[in-house]
Amino acid sequence: MADDKAFTGSIPKIYETYLVPLLFEDYAADLVTRVAARAPTRMLEVAAGTGVVTRAMAKGLPASTVIVATDLNPAMLEQAAAIGTSRPVEFKPADAMQLPFPDQSFDAIVCQFGVMFFPDRAKAIAEMRRVLRPGGALIFNVWDRIEENEFAAATEAGLAKFFPDDPPRFLSRAPYGYFDHAAIAADVAAGDFTATPTLETLALRSRARLASDPAVGYCQGSPLRGEIESRGALEHGTDAATAEIHKRFGGGPLDTKIQAIVVTVER
């Protein structure tokens, strides 16, 4: 659905405030560790969002490494630029389907939790391969199934109780809907990579102060917001998600499982 990619309005700020510390910081550190081992001189990030990986790369890669961070949504990059980085980084709006760079421009490419949103994943992967130099690597991560991600599963369950006749399914459909290893490997192959990708399951912990934090993050800081607002109950829907999270994990502090798949493939 087109709205699955709509990170607009107040979403970027809420996303950065709630979801980045809950979900993305530790996986960003993991990606940067993997990239740093390859000592790239020119680094591209696709679907940079509000810049959590970008900031980690700016700190974790040598000052001589050129970093270019792109995203389809200018509002997300504006939030990233407003937060800033520890050294200069180029922020550039770009569609993953048509990357505005010459062939073989980068030594490594990262994409954190973005591939599942691409309307044509094989085409986007082929574009990333096109701008990757021979011997370079594409490293991306995607969420595992929603059942392995406890805050997300509780949020969706709470909303299903509140909207029993028409439950919002953005989470299981989009961010947590691209986890089949065979399908991922097939898309990488269809994206013109001839090397066999490695797929690693990586479980981490997500910690929140209050049950409301993940509920607000998911319900108001992601495109799930549009599905709830279309039902005319953003605040009540958020409250329903909070109640389910509280029921499962307590009021806070909370400590739950999150799980992703990390994919690495060389050109």
Biggest alpha carbon distance in the chain?
55
Alpha helices in the chain (DSSP H): 11-14, 25-36, 52-60, 74-83, 121-130, 150-162, 170-173, 181-190, 212-220, 224-229, 234-249
* Residue 3 reports pLDDT greater than 70: no
Q: Which residues contact 140 (CB under 8 A, 6 or more apart)?
A: 110, 111, 112, 114, 115, 262, 263
Give the mean pLDDT of 159-185.
98
Give the mean pLDDT of 170-182.
98
Q: What is the pLDDT of residue 112?
A: 98
For 194-244, the pLDDT digits (tens) are 999 999 999 999 999 999 999 999 999 999 999 999 999 999 999 999 999
Find out whether 15 and 225 touch, Cβ atoms under 8 Å.
Answer: no
* Residue 4 reports pLDDT greater than 70: no
Q: What is the pLDDT of residue 10?
A: 79
- CA distances (Å), origin 239, targets 13, 229, 266: 20, 13, 45
Confidence (pTM): 0.95
What average pLDDT does the chain have?
96
* Residue 1 reports pLDDT greater than 70: no
Q: What is the pLDDT of residue 158?
A: 98
* Residue 8 reports pLDDT greater than 60: no
Q: What is the pLDDT of residue 113?
A: 98
Q: By C-alpha distance, which of 79, 10, 89, 78 is closest to 56? A: 89
Share of the chain above pLDDT 70, in %: 97
- Other beta carbons within 10 angstroms of residue 161's beta carbon come to 12
Tell me how many degrees the CA angle 156-97-185 measures, rounded to the nearest 5. 65
pLDDT band at 2 (very low <50, low <70, confident <90, very high): very low
Among 5-14, 21-30, 83-92, 197-206, the range scoring the smallest mean pLDDT is: 5-14
Provide the sign of the torsion angle of the four alpha carbons 199, 203, 207, 213, taken in this order. Answer: positive
For 91-104, the pLDDT digits (tens) are 999 999 999 999 99
Structural domain containing residue 129? 2-266
Backbone φ, ψ for residue 263 (5° rounding): -115, 130
The CATH number covering residue 48 comes to: 3.40.50.150
Share of the chain above pLDDT 90, in %: 95
Question: Considering its fold, how many domains does the chain have in total?
Answer: 1
Give the mean pLDDT of 86-95.
97
Give the mean pLDDT of 66-86.
95
Give the mean pLDDT of 29-44.
98
